[in-house]
Amino acid sequence: MPRKRKLNLPLLEVIGISIVLHVAGLLVLGGLTLYEVMSEPEPEFEAPQVAEPIDVKELKVKVNLKKSAEKSAPPRQKIAVQNISQLNVPNLDLDMPTLDNRVSIGFSGAGGGLGRGFGSGGIDIAKSAVNFFGIKSSGERIMIVVDASKYMLEDQKGGIPAYKIIKDEVAQIVQNLSPGTLFNVMFYNGGNVEAFSQVMMPATPQNKDRLGNWITKFNANENSIANVRGNVSISDKSVKPMEGLAFNWIKAAQAANEMNSDAIFLLVGQWQHHPRYITPEEKQKYLNEVKWGEEEETKWGEAVNVAQAWLKEENQKRRASGKPIKIVHSNHVLIHELKDLGVIEKRLRLKPDAAFNQEEIVKYMQGIGRKYGKEHDRKPASTNIVLFLGADEDEDENRDVEKFKDVARKNRGKFRVLEGMDALENVTTRGSSRSRS
């Protein structure tokens, strides 16, 4: 039989006592809570005081408008004018820029600000139209380059008087530029290039007048012939094939590109000689190849002496008669001319020299155009060229014509030829004013 389990009496007693104590505690706490709630006094509410009514009185203010107006208004004057031109109008000096042919219309799509076009076609006040000795073009950053060598002062070109016409015309071209255009002017002779400014300048009235004064010194008289102070150098001498050996108009063109010109205008007198500057050993090798020896060198030296003596005598005669002196660029040019006059033997060879050829120079010009166009995030600058020949020179027989034409064509530019002083006057402001009168 299974055993009967005994009840644990002490455990039951403990549980019973615990239950009794919990019940008693709940009763006491519940009673206290009920007492506090029931014994709270009821809140008292006070009614707000009612404001006593105020009697509103009607305020009347008398305003005498007629008298006030009469006192403040100035006395009226009767104006009796039979003709409108008799009116006394103050003389107002308003210097307003004219927007005639100096302003072009841009169609560059969405506008990028002043000078870049607005919307589908805005006024581009930075761009100027230019008539450069018959070449018409335009640009926002205009560079004018002028040959100051003796080639420009030859008799058949008009000498110093013709050069003054050139300077006056350049000054007038600058005067016609829009105020928003940047410009610069350079003169060159050999390795020297002199610029009006080291940076492009805004075409303000002050800068235009300064340019007009500065330009007068070049080839002004016998003492200033071909006198160009070199204040410009090219910074990049790595462009092939000349690699820093650029002179004359080529050096000026590179300097113009480095100044971020977008339209370059060149007035040149000749293609000129662009030496390679080879070592003495290389030079001797070259002379051997072209068969130039001691005999040829001796004859050449004698011809130079004859030419210089002839030039000295010729200019003495001219000074005595009050005529301009004869200006010749080099012994090569003078001897070539004296051969035609019979003063020097026609069979005499002109001394050769190693120089860059046309193909190399055209390649170099294209190279600097692309290089600086890319650097300044624009198309290569347009290179426009005017070749100034003598009145007795035939354009069709001049070898320089095709050379310069090739340079202009391959550098986004235009080309033209002027023959003599008359042709020069026909394409300048001076010539235009004469024809109108």
CATH number of residue 176's parent domain:
3.40.50.410
Residue 170 lies in a domain: yes
Question: How do beta strands 141-147 and 135-139 pair?
Answer: unpaired
Q: What is the DSSP letter of 147?
A: E
To which H or E segment does residue 259 belong? none
Same domain, 289 and 413: no
Take residue 75 and report the two structure tokens written for it: 């006395």
Contact indicator for 138, 128 with CB cutoff of 8 Å = yes
Residue 156 backbone dihedrals phi, psi, to 5 degrees: -70, -10
116 class by beta-carbon count within 10 Å (0-12 exposed, 13-18 middle, 19+ buried): middle
Query: Nearest Cα to 214, choosing from 233, 225, 228, 234?
Result: 228
**Tokens found for residue 371:** 């290089």
First-to-last C-alpha distance (Å) of the chain: 158
Strands (E), 199-301: 201-202, 263-268
Residue 243 shares a structural domain with residue 289: no
Q: Are residues 405 and 320 in the same domain?
A: no
The verdict on 151 and 266 lying in the same domain is: yes
Output the CA–CA distances (angstroms, integers) from residue 359 to 234, 308, 423, in the order listed. 22, 34, 30
- CA Rg, the chain, in Å? 48
Give residue 298's domain range. 280-341
Each of the 437 residues of the chain gets a pLDDT tens digit; together they read 555 555 556 666 767 777 877 777 777 777 767 666 566 555 555 555 555 555 545 555 555 545 544 455 555 555 444 544 444 545 544 444 433 333 333 333 333 333 333 333 445 678 999 999 999 999 999 999 999 999 999 999 999 999 999 999 999 999 999 999 999 999 999 999 999 999 999 999 999 999 999 999 999 999 999 999 999 999 999 988 998 899 999 999 999 999 999 999 999 999 998 888 888 899 899 999 999 999 999 999 999 999 999 999 999 999 999 988 999 878 988 998 899 889 999 899 988 888 999 999 999 999 999 999 999 999 999 999 999 999 999 999 999 999 999 999 999 999 999 999 999 999 987 655 554 44
Asked if residue 249 and residue 183 are part of one domain, the reply reads: yes
Structure tokens at 382: 């347009």
Domain count, the chain: 2
398 in a structural domain: yes
Among 411, 402, 430, smallest CA distance to 168 is for: 430
Q: Are residues 399 and 430 in the same domain?
A: yes
Q: Flag whether 168 is in a domain.
A: yes
**384: which 2 tokens?**
């426009």
In a domain, 94, yes or no: no
Q: Among 341, 367, 386, where does a domain finish?
A: 341
Residue tagged 């206290």 (tokens): 32
Are 296 and 425 found together in one domain?
no
Please tell me whether residue 2 adopts helix, strand or coil conformation. coil
